[in-house]
Amino acid sequence: MKNYLNFINNQWVAADDGASISVSNPATEEIVGLVSAASAEQAIQACDVAASAQRAWRKLTSIERGHHLHNLAQAIEARKAAIGQALALESGKSLEDATNEAVYAAEITRYHAEWARRIEGEIIPSDSPSENLMLHREPMGVVACLIPFNYPVYTLLRKIAPALITGNTVVVRPSNNTPCSAFEIAQAVLDAKLPPGVVNILTMGHDEAQALCTHPKVAMITLTGGVTAGRRVLEYSKTNIAKSSLELGGKTPAIVAADADLDKAATDIVRSKTTNCGQLCTAVERVYVERSVHDALVAKLKAKLSERQFGNRAQDASRMGPLISASSRQAIHDMVQRAVQEGATLECGGVMPQGPGFFYPPTLLTQVGQKFEIVQEEVFGPVLCVLPYDTFDEALAMASDHQFGLASVLYTENYRHVMQAGNEIEAGELYINRTPADPYQGYHAGWKRSGLGGDDGKHGMLEFTQTRLVIMSY
């Protein structure tokens, strides 16, 4: 078991009162780490330090900040083994997947470093012939970054890299379920010789997080999490009218037409549903299949889900790993049971496993209604629902008839249906003949309750800026 301290102003800092948070491996339920629990005073100190550092950081040229990010990416890659080991233990991922996540984190850091010479303002024509209107892009200031448990290494860099390149400094609160990998990244910050106070990382409880997010020097809060957490952040942001960027829940629909390659669709959907035990905001959760091929697709999905084994990935990396906690597993199992009580047919899975670890079998439900809770609420686990449709208009309507609108999927060879879905589906992303995997250079943004703002690409980077219009007469 390894002990970690909080990271403030490039220094390792113990909790004021010696309080700590224990971190367990969800595959074994054994404690694998102990992290200091920051006090509200330490959260405030981190904000003050970040605000002080930001005054100098924003004055660096963007290319200088880009060099710092390249150094950070190199340091992360050099420490990928340590980061991966910490992540594998705290998340139940395989060591290979956890290490690869560190590599992806380094790569998205490099991607944002390359924006250094591309952060542009605008010159806007004036109504006066002797006047110029110049729109500048400026940093927000201090950004509070709230990181989820499911992809904590990648998401941490997905947040801080665009914040840093645009001249902000950050205070990071990792998930209390997976904080150890964040502190391994803090060591990479030291190795890269980033200036003190630019990146600060602290674990804390909800009260301390409130002190962080309502600090008057926090200009922006960025969160990846659930709708409940998003509402809490919006409450925090009201205190100082801080900008909020929220990537929240998802309930990805996959429409499978009769002309689709059913084998590919089934393979892709099962992989999407069982990767990281379904703990992915863009994982397919509901399938709308054309009625003439409904039974054939269900048979393929059932066969593939039934043969997908779960277990400790440290012993067998080919298996599906655990859910993050006992409470998550119980909530998912309760949803499955309520669906069956409502009339759903349990095709496979749906049984609470015995023994250590928070495992849950891949589960397939048919005979579900559009208004069933299991169709309307995010499961965030290895549970899949299948519903038939008769017309493509009906499929689009059901896919969009939802509180969430993050990602969507369409399997078809009909280009007219592809164009129609591209114009009409109520989601921030549409994937054709493949399942979601967010590209660095895209824009990952949800509609409806799936969030505000977004991540990735030019538009995600510009989320971390504000504007100043300079009107210059001559």
Provide the β-strand partners of residue 348.
364
- Among 415, 417, 433, smallest CA distance to 425 is for 417
Task: Choose the catalytic residue: 90, 208, 247, 429.
Answer: 247
- Rama region for 334: left / alpha / beta (φ>0; ψ in -120 to 50; rest): alpha
Q: Is the dihedral of CA 162, 167, 168, 169 positive or negative?
A: positive
Identify the bridge partners of residue 288 per DSSP, sorted by sequence position: 255, 387
323: left (phi over 0), alpha (psi -120 to 50) or beta: beta
| Cβ proximity of 309 and 319 under 8 Å | yes
Closest to 105 in 3D by CA, of 227, 15, 14, 189: 189
Number of H-type helices and E-type strands within the chain: 15, 23
| Burial class of residue 474 in the structure, from the number of CB atoms within 10 Å of its CB (0-12 exposed, 13-18 middle, 19+ buried) | exposed
Q: Is 347 a catalytic residue?
A: no
Does residue 277 have an active-site annotation?
Answer: no
| Torsion-angle region of 277 (φ positive above 0: left; ψ -120 to 50: alpha; else: beta) | left
Measured CA to CA, the distance from residue 157 to residue 443 in angstroms comes to 16
Q: The tokens of 312 are what?
A: 């400790």
| Catalytic residue from among 281, 290, 385, 429 | 281
CB-based contact 83:99 (threshold 8 Å): yes
On the CB side of 229, CA atoms within 13 Å amount to: 21
Annotated active-site positions, please? Answer: 247, 281
